[in-house]
């Protein structure tokens, strides 16, 4: 969801939210980008997602030419707009392909140990609750909850664009980035590309976790663990009953383990109900291995009870459809948790927090060992 601001200002005849104006809300202190610096890469990726939000707001408010606000969000970092991605259902701009101007000259002077910039960043916005986009975006939000995002035109189109970019430039030169609903698109597309043998560097800001937010609802750590432990037992039991005992013997064929080497950058805020359960999801998995219940968790972590009972496969087993699995089933991630106190849900879920120079983060690497 867009982190909108009620502070609409008129500047040189242009009406815009402060959060859409790069010179007011962007990381103008980043005059030189060090691609080895994770904060710099995070800032660029999140600003390009904000650029997509602003492209759509420019369209809705008919801000064209010098009145446009979106271009500042990519030009500051030496990117150009290569393509805008439009949802045919409502004509809204839901994503964009950005190209780095100095990609070839940078690589020419590159040293062996430095991290190269991307040639292309494909970025996706989240929900905009404005008249021109609200209806379509909310329908797609509901698809995330029902794990049916893969059936939408927007997602199918996004994957086609990603596949085309990778075919032209190779997967190591392409980044994915998305926020909220856009992070769900990037996450699901990233899974598909990884299983096809083309893992992409991915920046997932506040992605929706399509399950009960235990992390936010319960305060007691012991109670959280108890609820999740019971859930793991049930999921493992149902998975074995539904799929047969071969399920946990042939793990090498499991589509879930094919994702284990993919390490998307996952950005979550503990005060954001939409994404906070990722914290508990990974914490619980580690706890289960610590207490000797690793065999149970190996089965439970790759399955969703709802998907198992509905016959969707839950993300485990060689025959499961990789698209129909729950979004949140993720083997590995490099997770960044915003430890700063957010004043309200809007800020906790917003994109602007991730380039804040006062950002206070906790960084946790979660690697699935199969």
- Walking along the chain (370 residues) 10 residues at a time, the average pLDDT comes out as 56 74 95 94 98 96 92 97 95 97 68 82 95 90 86 94 95 96 96 94 94 65 65 62 53 67 95 90 74 62 57 44 66 93 90 93 85
The pLDDT of residue 185: 96
pLDDT at site 249: 44
Give pLDDT, residue 248: 46
Quote the distance between the C-alpha of residue 255 and its chain's center: 20
Whole-number Å distance between alpha carbons of 236 and 173: 39
pLDDT value of residue 240: 66
Task: For the chain, give every domain's residue range.
Answer: 18-106+113-210+258-275+326-366
Q: Can you give the C-alpha Rg of the chain in angstroms?
A: 20
Specify which residues 95 forms β-bridges with: 85, 124
Q: Which positions ≥6 away from 71 have C-beta within 8 Å? A: 51, 81
- Report residue 152: phi and psi, to 5°: -80, 150
What's the CATH fold of domain 18-106+113-210+258-275+326-366? Rossmann fold (3.40.50)
Q: What φ, ψ does residue 18 adopt, rounded to 5°?
A: -55, -35
Q: Which residues of 21-41 are buried (b: 16+ CB within 10 A; e: fewer)?
A: bbeebbbeebeebebeeebbb
User: For 118-219, where are the E strands, in sequence order?
Assistant: 120-124, 174-179, 201-205
pLDDT score recorded for residue 251? 40
Sequence-ordered list of residues with C-beta below 8 angstroms from that of 231, at least 6 positions apart, any chain: 300, 305
User: Which residues touch 59 (CB under 8 Å, ≥6 apart)?
Assistant: 92, 93, 132
pLDDT, residue 218, reads 66
pTM to 2 decimals?
A: 0.85
pLDDT for residue 328: 76
121 and 83 Cβ atoms separated by less than 8 Å: no
* Contacts by residues 132-135 (CB-CB < 8 Å, ≥ 24 positions apart): 132/59, 132/60, 132/90, 132/91, 132/92, 133/56, 133/60, 133/90, 133/92, 135/90
Residues 6+ away with beta carbon under 8 Å from 178: 49, 95, 123, 124, 125, 126, 184, 185, 186, 187, 203, 204, 205, 207
């Amino acid at each position: 969801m867009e982190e909108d601001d009620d502070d609409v200002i008129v500047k040189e005849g242009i009406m815009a939210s402060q959060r859409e104006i790069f010179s007011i809300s962007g990381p103008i202190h980043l005059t030189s980008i060090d691609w080895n610096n994770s904060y710099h890469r995070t800032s660029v990726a999140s600003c390009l997602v904000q650029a997509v939000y602003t492209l759509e707001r420019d369209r809705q408010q008919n801000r064209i030419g010098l009145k446009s606000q979106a271009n500042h969000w990519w030009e500051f970092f030496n990117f150009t707009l290569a393509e805008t991605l439009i949802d045919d259902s409502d004509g809204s701009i839901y994503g964009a392909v950005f190209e780095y101007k100095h990609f070839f000259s940078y690589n020419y002077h590159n040293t062996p140990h430095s991290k190269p910039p991307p040639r292309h960043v494909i970025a996706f916005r989240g929900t905009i609750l404005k008249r021109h986009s609200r209806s379509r975006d909310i329908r797609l939000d509901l698809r995330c909850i029902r794990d049916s995002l893969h059936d939408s035109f927007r997602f199918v189109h996004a994957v086609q664009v990603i596949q085309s970019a990778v075919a032209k430039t190779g997967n190591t030169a392409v980044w994915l980035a998305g926020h909220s609903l856009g992070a769900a698109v990037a996450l699901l597309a990233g899974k598909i590309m990884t299983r096809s043998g083309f893992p992409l560097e991915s920046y997932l800001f506040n992605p929706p976790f399509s399950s009960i937010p235990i992390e936010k609802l319960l305060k007691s750590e012991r109670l959280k663990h108890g609820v999740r432990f019971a859930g793991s037992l049930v999921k493992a039991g149902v998975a074995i009953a539904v799929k047969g005992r071969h399920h946990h013997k042939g793990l090498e064929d499991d589509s879930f383990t094919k994702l284990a080497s993919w390490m998307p950058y996952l950005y979550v805020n503990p005060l954001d109900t939409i994404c906070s359960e990722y914290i508990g999801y990974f914490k619980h998995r580690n706890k289960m291995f610590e207490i000797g219940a690793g065999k149970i968790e190996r089965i439970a972590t790759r399955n969703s009870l709802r998907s198992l009972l509905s016959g969707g496969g839950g993300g485990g087993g060689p025959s499961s459809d990789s698209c129909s699995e729950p979004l949140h089933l993720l083997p590995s991630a490099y997770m960044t948790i915003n430890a700063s106190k957010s004043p309200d849900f809007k800020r906790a879920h917003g994109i602007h927090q991730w380039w804040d120079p006062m950002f206070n983060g906790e960084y946790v690497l979660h690697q699935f060992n199969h």
